[in-house]
């Protein structure tokens, strides 16, 4: 059965506050963790400005945090049964269009708002071109979107089974092996430097 997704006109008509209340507790927690991890990783990205012209007065960690918070919002525009079906591949575009429609309401006139939209749209692109929705490669993928992709992958690894203690060393190796494939190597360099802080956060989250 073909997935029915909202038109651009329908997206513009959504009430953002009401939409955010539809997040399940699991999705809200995941989004918060991805946001925090993205902002921590982004703190170590100052040496990679070739990927970004950050607007004056903007902060890459703050941009990464906002993008991480919103990265999966497009899933709320999909039918419940299709979140893991074919419609799944449309959620980055749906989310980006939603944020684009509400960015003035959410972020005022901040010039960084467009970069947040990029994170939402491109957080499933892969460095080797195997991602979606556009199949971008390497430096065509915004740095903050790559950071969000790594944070998203890390969180799924850490909470793939919430009842089982994650093997930190194994997850580290898995993420290291994906450098250059799922995300550019400089993103992994930033995450590697941030690793002790990231693990401190997960110790706290898993104790809740």
Domain coordinates of the chain in residue numbers? 8-207
Cα 90 to the center of its chain, rounded Å: 15
Q: Which CATH number does 8-207 carry? A: 1.10.3210.10
Three-state DSSP class for residue 111: coil
Phi-psi region of 26 (alpha: psi -120 to 50; beta: other; left: phi over 0): alpha
User: Per residue of the chain (208 residues), what is the pLDDT tens digit?
Assistant: 333 445 555 555 666 677 777 888 889 899 999 999 999 999 998 766 555 567 777 788 999 999 999 999 998 888 754 555 677 899 999 999 999 988 888 887 677 888 999 999 999 999 999 999 999 998 899 989 999 999 999 999 998 754 445 688 999 999 999 999 999 998 999 999 999 999 999 999 988 7
SS (H, E, C) 41-101: HHCCCHHHHHHCCCCCCCCHHHHHHHHHHHCCHHHHHCCHHHCCCHHHHHHHHHHHHHHHH
């Amino acid at each position: 059965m073909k997935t029915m997704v909202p038109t651009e006109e329908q997206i513009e008509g959504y009430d953002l506050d009401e939409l955010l209340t539809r997040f399940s507790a699991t999705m809200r927690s995941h989004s918060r963790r991805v946001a925090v991890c993205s902002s921590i990783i982004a703190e170590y990205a100052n040496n990679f400005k070739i990927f970004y012209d950050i607007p004056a007065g903007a902060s890459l960690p703050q941009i990464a945090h906002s993008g991480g918070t919103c990265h999966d919002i497009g899933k709320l525009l999909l039918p419940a049964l299709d979140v893991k079906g074919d419609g799944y591949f449309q959620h980055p575009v749906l989310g980006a269009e939603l944020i684009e429609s509400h960015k003035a309401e959410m972020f005022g006139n901040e010039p960084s708002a467009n970069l947040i939209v990029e994170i939402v749209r491109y957080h499933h692109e892969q460095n080797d071109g195997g991602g979606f929705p556009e199949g971008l490669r390497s430096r065509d993928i915004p740095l903050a979107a790559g950071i969000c992709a790594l944070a998203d992958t890390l969180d799924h690894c850490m909470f793939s089974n919430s009842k089982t203690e994650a093997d930190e060393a194994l997850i580290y190796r898995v993420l290291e092996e994906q450098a250059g494939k799922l995300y550019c190597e400089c993103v992994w360099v930033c995450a590697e430097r941030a690793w002790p802080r990231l693990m401190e956060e997960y110790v706290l989250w898993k104790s809740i």
